[in-house]
Structure 1
Amino acid sequence: MLLESSPQNINMPLTLPRLFGWAAQQFSAKAAVREGGKDISYSDLNDLRRAAGRAFMAMGVGHGDRVAIWAPNSAEWIVAAAGAQSVGAILVPLNTRLQGNEAADILGRAGVKVLLTVAELEKGEPLAMLAEQALPELQQRILLPPYSGTNTGSIAASMSWIDFMASAAQADDAKFIAAERAVNPFDSADMLFTSGTTGKAKGVLCSHEQNIRAFQSWSATVGLRSDDNYLIVNPFFHSFGYKAGWLAAIISGATILPMAKFDKRSVLETIQRDKVTMLPGAPSLYEMLLNAPERGDYDLSSLRLGVTGAASVPVQLVRDMRNILGFETVVTAYGLTESTGVVTVCRPEDEAETIATTSGRAIEGVELICANPNTGKEVPRGSEGEVWLRGYNVMQGYFDMPEATAETITADGWLKTGDIGVMDERGYLRITDRLKDMYIMNGENVYPAEVEKVLYGLSGVAQAAVIGVPKAPQGEVGMAFVVKKAGSDLSAQRVSEYCGEYLARYKCPFYVEFVEALPLNASGKVLKTELKILASTLLSKKK
């Protein structure tokens, strides 16, 4: 049963600037963000958002321009994103694990005008990684906190966050108000990049209205409340951390606790210190907490709501989350970037078996079928079919890729997900396989074609194929099958090192196996079903 104050019962503003203004009125002095021992009230967050918007306007950012953020979770991330969206710009979040060439590809094809980043990321200094990349449309680089170094090298060409926010004084407030009011619910709010089976990243466009409606519904369904303290470990560059994260919190009036980098001890300390009630994440997050030897040293009694997905969820994990970690409510969900991040959600009252073995049923206003991919007709309930959905949450399209958009969305509005699923008589969906070869590692989508393309650039590689294989607690990891060129002394270590030079860590194969030949069909296509059988045999020997 939904609470009377649930966000689904509220006439919500349908643009990001109006939403922040509404939240400032509704929740005023209540803490919107708590970070580093300091609180930012909803009223102050709205003021910061407006200041960032004026600063973007002062540097010439306007309607339809693209602004990218390549940084870990922080309060400034939220302020920058909302500020850019307040002048009609389109937010382009970048995965913090990307290599410089991967980030440059996205920045270039999206035509990003302004980049906000930090001094150091997992792969090194982002500004240095981009220094040799040709990005003619990128006009400004802004360095987010924390930064206490000197402006040397690539950093010298950037603007500090303090100077950026101070530049808001240069903008005409009346013009900013006009720009803010001109933002339309149907304007594109963001462009999140997702790869396809070709390995080429696609920019998924979603509107202000789609984001707010979808996560107003999600928040109401899972039971997110204004008295929740919401620890967001999921990265803001991902729908789970951005849309189901801080956006859902703003919609609900919850307090956001951003975590820049996952650390088991920090999570435990934060739960105890800040009385965290809401903690979503991939199943591996909860498994790590359950297996932490020091867990008993912390008071986790405040935990109330857990939302998981992105991988198979053991029934026992759901029970342990309730009985050991103390969650009152545990639900699972399913979504994809092209669906504004959400399609189905379990309900809090569902049994543990339903929560573990299904991804729930469609959110309100969304049609869902398992279809015969050849005919588009719904298959009988209980039978496998491709998951298709239709409704307000279907993306606006892939940026600058009309052909790919037309291949993914039918003429009558059905989004073909590429996932194979089974729907029961209640409308609950179980994902069983993928038409595409994509696998999920710690909640991150990995596309084998992209990894294979990199492998073919390594001297000594004649052929390569990559599949996902099960491994706890990550869910799935990559296994690369490599055929060496004659006379090559290529080693598994060299393959791993090479992938690490060109790919984000989560994309790098966990296993590397050398084979004499890849199994092929009559047309020369690699038979990945046979590779999965071979992988199963190899993994059983490793145990």
Structure 2
Amino acid sequence: MSTAQLPVAPPTPWVDGLTIGQVLRETARQYPDDDAIVFCGPGVRVSWSELDREVDLVARGLLALGFVPGDHFGVWATNVPEWVLLQFATARIGVVLVNINPSYRAGELKFVLKQADVRGLALIDHYKTMHFQEILLEAAPDLASSTPGHLHSPTFPRLRWIVEMRGHQPSFGLSWYDLMSGAVSVPQACVDEVAERLNPNRAINIQFTSGTTGHPKGATLSHRNVLLNAFYAGQSQRLGPRDRVCLPVPLYHCFGCVLGTMCCIVHGSAMIFPSECFHPGETLAAIESQRCTAIYGVPTMFIAQLENPTFSKHDLSSLRTGIMAGSPCPIELMRRVTQEMGASEITIGYGQTEASPLITQTRTDDPIELRVGTVGRPLPGFEAKIVDPDTGAELGDGQQGEFCGRGHGVMIGYYHQPDKTAAAIDRDGWLHTGDLGMRQPNGYYRITGRLNDMIIRGGENIYPREIEERLYEHPAVEEVQIVGVPDHRFGEEILAWIKFKRDQQATETELREYCRLGLAHFKVPRYWKFVDSFPTTVTGKIQKFKIREQGIEELGLQDEANIETA
């Protein structure tokens, strides 16, 4: 039985064999005066030649502090201009960028800084109620008595430098101005010399998985991993130097710093950042004012824009394409994005951080039924297959099993976690995603859920995605999430959380009947809850485990939840 694989498209991608720094240099040479970056909030606009020069300055500043290839430098911030500068500056001199979730509290920050051997950390002062310096000192109180360059923390034995990117400069850290001022002591030739020796197959980025259970794991990616992924992801959208990509997605996540910034440097497209964190109104305003041709986001972001009170007031006629990814996309939502937002060539991408991140993607010229109903075909140079989760045997078309991928995007491994790496990547190089999917005869894939999301009710396997798709078709439903909750009789029962569209309502009885008309009786939810919002990660991914936990509490199912099973 053959696996689905597309031949590598000739010619070989121009980025193959290059480092991130070399790709940026070439793009700046080709399009020196074109917009590279626009940050709408602070009003920052930078051309490609200006970006290239700024990156060199930051790289020289890092060399002045003693950073060398292989060192680890963490960035803990929202979407700010300095984040992008540090991403490219660290890559230019071979320093490994460690992405840190800006929503982390002290315990999570402490784990990541120590586990990833972070030697330098850049942070912002605050965002809304998050005060980053206070959280850092809570994680390591002894930093308060240290001085820049002489940090002594038993908790973080490798940490030497703290850089405050904006706001109040701590006594133990440098300001951004200090970092840039240090560049004068290092000639440009030093940067060029270091950059020349770098290997594109070496680690350049550590991105931590969300860690919904246990501690997060640091997926280690190479220059080649992210550049090839960015090349093909952009090619699938037909991106070029005239495109302007709206990026409301967070930079710390692979959606922002690979499909976003890397896609743009590879294809010469402008990066447009509407705000520090996602805001639907500001995103719509940025699309209009900057004449964006592409828009990125997870499904919840698109729903928020479509349902925003200002939606009809914005001119979105410039939109053509983009990527919707990060979690399963409801078919009805995809139709609304193509028709109401006008992104008629928007693509669906599927993958995970461990794959740098895309494994499959639809193309702009795919028929609409494939772009709204599948996650596309494997990227060139990637293979995919569906296997039986219990036996590992490869399954045929139309059979549901675990989705596995193999190719240029598969991570180097989890940093300092060889056992977890071996559990994720088998001896033949296949990445086991933990997602359920099936392949269609035409080579396109559908993702049907997570292995651990499956509900088993009275011996029947129930996949939440099927029920969610049915409810998304109801005219009053804006968003829906289906989870399983414990039940003494059936083992599990189905709980539906429903958010209605503005000025729309439906009763539990109406929704039950709607499900009953389109689904088998055992798939009709027993429990219903009408909500205004869902628990989400900072990237907008809905956290089903929290919905389940809250459901158990509210429904008084603690005893059932504690029943031991084989």
For normalisation by structure 1, the TM-score amounts to 0.79
Shift of 1:101: 1.4
Q: Secondary structure at the match of 2:229?
A: helix
CA RMSD in angstroms comes to: 3.0
Distance 2:78 2:17 in 1: 28
Cα gap change, 1:28 to 1:362, in 2 (>3 Å): same
Shift of 1:91: 0.7
SS in structure 2 opposite 1:201? coil
Determine the C-alpha separation between the residues in 2 that align with 1:298 and 1:344.
Answer: 32
Could you say which residue in structure 1 is the equivalent of 2:295? 279
1:220 equivalent to 2:226? Answer no
1:294 to 267, 287, 310: 310
How far apart, in 1, do the equivalents of 2:13 and 2:195 lie?
25
Aligned to 2:54: 48
What is the aligned counterpart of 1:140 among 153, 158, 161?
161
- 1:352 is displaced (CA, Å) by 3.1
Query: For 1:107 and 1:187, how far apart are their aligned partners in 2?
Result: 21
1:326 corresponds to: 342
**Residue matched to 1:68:** 74
Aligned to 2:113: 107
Q: For 1:236, which of 251, 257, 272 is the aligned residue?
A: 251
Q: Which of 406, 421, 426 pairs up with 1:410?
A: 426
Q: Is the 8 A contact 1:345 1:359 kept in 2?
A: yes
> 1:419 and 1:517 mapped to 2: Cα distance?
30
1:58 maps to amino acid: A
The correspondence for 1:19, drawn from 14, 19, 23, is 23
Determine which of 215, 230, 251 is the counterpart of 2:266. Answer: 251
The counterpart of 1:157, out of the listed 163, 172, 189, is 172
Q: Structure 1, residues 192-236: CA drift from partner, whole Å, max 9, x if none?
A: 011557512111011001110111011101222211111110000
Report the secondary structure of 1:244's partner residue.
Answer: coil
How far apart are the structure 2 equivalents of 1:470 and 1:420? 22
1:7 touches 1:217 (CA, 8 Å); kept in 2?
no
In structure 1, how many angstroms separate the alpha carbons of the residues matched to 2:432 and 2:413?
Answer: 13
Q: Which runs of 4+ in 1 moved over 6 A?
A: none
Question: CA contact under 8 A between 2:15 and 2:231: conserved in structure 1?
Answer: no
Distance in 2 (alpha carbons) for counterparts of 1:248 and 1:137: 32
Question: Aligned in 2, Cα 1:75/1:13: closer, same or farther, shift over 3 Å?
Answer: farther
Secondary structure at the aligned position of 1:112 is classed as coil
Separation (CA, whole Å) in 2 of partners of 1:471 and 1:63? 50
1:265 is the counterpart of 2:281: yes
| Sequence identity (%) | 28
1:169, CA displacement in angstroms?
A: 1.2
Is 1:191 the counterpart of 2:197 in the alignment? no
Q: Structure 2: which amino acid aligns with 1:16? A: I
1:449-497 deviation per Cα after TM superposition (whole angstroms, max 9, x unaligned): xxxxxxxxxxxxxxxx9x99655599xxxxxxxxxxxxxxxxxxxxxxx
* Partner-residue secondary structure (3-state), 1:260: coil
- The 3 A distance-change label for structure 1 pair 516 and 283 is closer
**What does residue 176 of structure 1 align with?**
191
What letter corresponds to residue 323 of structure 1 in structure 2?
Q
Taking structure 1 as reference, are residues 471 and 42 closer, same or farther at Cα in structure 2, changes over 3 Å only? farther
2:479 aligns to what?
none
Pairing 1:434-445 to 2, within 5 Å after superposition: 434-436=450-452
Look up the match of 1:307.
323
Q: In structure 1, how many angstroms separate the alpha carbons of the residues matched to 2:322 and 2:258?
A: 16
- Report what 2:472 is aligned to: none
Aligned AA (1:254): S
- Return the match for 1:34 from 31, 38, 41: 38
Aligned to 1:536: none
CA 473–188 in structure 1, closer or farther in 2 if over 3 Å, else same: farther
Contact 2:245 2:322 in 1 (8 A): no
- The secondary structure found in structure 2 opposite 1:332 is strand
Give the secondary structure class of the aligned counterpart of 2:217: strand
Contact kept, 8 Å, 1:101 with 1:130, in 2: the verdict is no
Residue 356 (structure 1) aligned with residue 377 (structure 2): no
1:7–1:219 contact (8 Å) kept in structure 2: no
Candidates 85, 89, 92, aligned match of 1:83: 89
- Distance in 1 between residues matched to 2:179 and 2:332, nearest whole Å: 49
The alpha carbon displacement at 1:243 in A equals: 0.3
Q: Give the TM-score normalised by structure 2.
A: 0.76
**Pairing partner for 1:430 from 436, 440, 446:** 446
- Secondary structure at 2:73 match in 1: strand
Asked if 1 retains the 8 angstrom alpha-carbon contact of 2:230 and 2:262, the reply is yes
The answer for the alignment partner of 1:200 in structure 2 is 215
Q: How many correspondences in the alignment?
A: 464
- Cα distance change of structure 1 residues 469 and 351 upon mapping to structure 2, 3 Å threshold: farther
Greater alpha carbon shift after TM alignment, 310-319 vs 359-368: 310-319
Against the structure 1 CA distance between its residues 350 and 247, is the aligned structure 2 distance closer, same or farther, given a 3 Å change threshold?
same
* Equivalent in the alignment of 1:530: none
Q: Please list the CA deviations of residues 148-202 of structure 1 after superposition, one character each: whole Å capped at 9, or x if unmatched.
A: xx44xxx232211121111111224333221111111011010101155751211
What SS class does the counterpart of residue 47 from structure 1 fall into?
A: helix
8 Å CA contact 1:409–1:416 kept in 2: the answer is yes
Kept after mapping to 2: 8 A contact 1:85/1:91 = yes
Q: 1:143 and 1:92 mapped to 2: Cα distance?
A: 16
Give the distance between the partners of 2:558 and 2:287, measured in 1 at CA: 51
C-alpha deviation, 1:39, in angstroms: 2.1
Distance 1:7 1:61, change over 3 A: farther
* Contact 1:72 1:236 (8 Å CA) reproduced: yes
Equivalent position to 1:421, from 437, 440, 449? 437
2:160 partner amino acid = Q
Query: How far apart, CA to CA, are the structure 1 residues paired with 2:77 and 2:47?
Result: 23
**For 1:387 and 1:333, how far apart are their aligned partners in 2?**
14
Other-structure match for 1:509: 546
- Whole-Å separation in 2 of the counterparts to 1:381 and 1:387: 12
The alpha-carbon distance between structure 1 residues 175 and 395, as it changes in their structure 2 partners (threshold 3 A), is same
The aligned amino acid for 2:304 is M
| Structure 1 counterpart of 2:38, one-letter code | R
- Whole-Å Cα distance in 1 between the matches of residues 309 and 258 of structure 2? 33
* Secondary structure at the counterpart of residue 206 of structure 2: strand
Cα distance, 1:11–1:267 mapped onto 2, change above 3 Å: closer
Match of 1:479 in 2: none
Identify the residue that residue 487 of structure 1 maps to in structure 2. Answer: none
Instruction: Summarize the Cα distance change of 1:210–1:230 in structure 2 as closer, same or farther, 3 Å threshold.
Output: same
Which amino acid letter does the alignment assign opposite residue 300 of structure 1? L
The 3 A distance-change label for structure 1 pair 473 and 257 is farther
Alpha-carbon distance change, 314 to 203 in structure 1, aligned in 2, over 3 angstroms? closer
Separation in 2, partners of 1:86, 1:7: 26
- Counterpart contact for 2:352–2:358, Cα < 8 Å: yes
Could you tell me which runs of 5 or more consecutive residues in structure 1 were left unpaired when the two chains were aligned: 1-5, 441-447, 449-464, 475-498, 527-543
